[in-house]
Structure 1
């Protein structure tokens, strides 16, 4: 996968993770299913890491 294709994926993953975290705070803990907790804990950091990786790869000069 090339770098320009990675950044939109990273943004989407991060946005889904942040939306899950916001849902946790808005709805409160007891009423939400387990996948919302998993999405909040996994998608936001994964999207952030993928975004950083994409930015680093795009800033390097081509050989």
Structure 2
């Protein structure tokens, strides 16, 4: 009899996307911080908008985790 640990684990394609978005957002936040600390003002709009990638990446990661959790719960319910 196969145990749940023996079943192949299916990962979501959202996780690499979420990590990439979050990392880009953190880089943008760091760039804005460094530029302001060195006296630059009136930064480009695209750089300020890039800072929103961090929370977007976080939201995509949470949504992917919830989606995977629901799918695995539904699969366990079908087995029993």
Q: TM-score, normalised by structure 2?
A: 0.66
Unmatched segments (≥5 aa) in structure 1: none
**Greater share of helix:** 1
- Structural mapping, 1:30-45, within 5 Å: 30=41, 32-40=43-51, 42-45=52-55
Query: May I ask how many residue pairs the two structures share in their alignment?
Result: 60
Alpha-carbon RMSD across the aligned residues, in angstroms, is 1.7
Per chain length, whose mean CA-contact separation is higher, i.e. which structure has more relative contact order (CA < 8 Å, sep 6+)?
Answer: 1
Unmatched segments (≥5 aa) in structure 2: 1-10, 76-80
Q: TM-score, normalised by structure 1?
A: 0.81
Of 26, 49, 58, the residue aligned with 1:48 is: 58
